[in-house]
Amino acid sequence: MSTHRLPPVLQNLSLPVIASPMFIASGPALVKAQCKAGIVGSFPALNARPAELLDTWLTDIQEDLAAFRAAHPGKPVGPIAVNQIVHQSNDRLAHDVEVCVKHQVPIIISSLRAPPKEMLDAVHSYGGIVLHDVISIRHAQKALEAGVDGLILVAAGAGGHAGALSPFALVGEVRKFFDGPVALSGSIATGDAILAAQAMGADFAYIGSRWLATKESNVDDAYRQAILESTAADVIYTNLFTGVHGNYLRKSIVAAGLDPENLPTADKSTMNFGSGGGSKAKAWRDIWGAGQGVGLMDSVLSVEEVMEKLKAEYAAARKRLAL
């Protein structure tokens, strides 16, 4: 992985991986395990409910990781990232950014809309960086104009809110005008796919669904089992549940009393993340987000076990290509 254009916080990872923040599923236990495994661990600020819990979570995670670093000198420990939803429906944004600034969270992941200048200035004031989720070239350009430090390209097949563009097209076009940090998302569940993301021009694989079927994820066993039983054909792309298009498991849609093949389209005015959008089912409690890579998962593992598997696959892929 090239490091000439990467900020220090994104260097020296055990694998070029950023764990994506997943609603409900990403909590302190998962984030700690990801960071201790040497990759970027992340969670959505909105997962900490009520809002006051965000300060508690960050204190707990930072103290635990500091103790781990002291006990394991020389071992790569990944940084924390917190996801902020930049949208009028998120009435916690100012509070949550303030808490992250207090804790000097090294990486902020912004979603939906380009972050405002005051948010960027606050994060940059202590040396933090902002990575922004995008699904199109227009979104990427607007985010860079706003002053973000890097881009997360959410391509076809990604879990939860996702775009519809091929990763080849999205990465290729972004690299025509941006030489900074780029992470790629979309059905990345193996070490081979991590290397493929780099071969395309991304610096990092942005991995979400692979962590759902881990022992540390904050989901119930029915969700984990649905991941193991599903294939790419069981992932439904719709905007019904939040007002923004995303990928969800067929089994959870059926359980909510809906026909996955005949879902209505939600009006964008129904955007309300975590509350159901145009449906009475509550995303993400009742409707389970997942990417098209679910067919590559067949057992519930610990984060450490997943990482060992990814490292072995990544090394084998490099050897196969004589890299």
What is residue 323's predicted lDDT score, i.e. its pLDDT?
67
pLDDT digits (tens, 9 = 90+) for 35-57: 999 999 999 999 999 999 999 99
Residues 230 and 277 grouped into a single domain: yes
Is the separation of the CB atoms in 253 and 284 below 8 Å?
A: no
Q: What is the CATH number of the domain that holds 118?
A: 3.20.20.70
Mean pLDDT for all residues in the chain? 92
Residues 142 and 225 grouped into a single domain: no
Query: Is residue 92 assigned to a domain?
Result: yes
Longest dimension (CA), the chain: 55
The encoded tokens of residue 255 equal 């359980």
The model's confidence at residue 174, banded by pLDDT at 50, 70 and 90, is very high
pLDDT score of 277 more than 50: no
Residues 137 and 208 grouped into a single domain: yes
Q: By C-alpha distance, which of 210, 246, 180, 7 is closest to 106?
A: 7
The model's confidence at residue 302, banded by pLDDT at 50, 70 and 90, is very high
Residues 179 and 228 grouped into a single domain: no
Q: What is the pTM of this model?
A: 0.92
Residues 202 and 241 grouped into a single domain: no
Q: What number is the average pLDDT over the span 221-235? A: 95
The model's confidence at residue 163, banded by pLDDT at 50, 70 and 90, is confident
Expressed as residue numbers, the domain containing 260 is 221-292
The model's confidence at residue 282, banded by pLDDT at 50, 70 and 90, is low
DSSP string, 211-269: GTTBTTSSS-HHHHHHHHH--GGGEEEESTTTSS-EEEEHHHHHHTT--TTSPPPPPGG
Q: What number is the average pLDDT over the span 209-235? A: 95
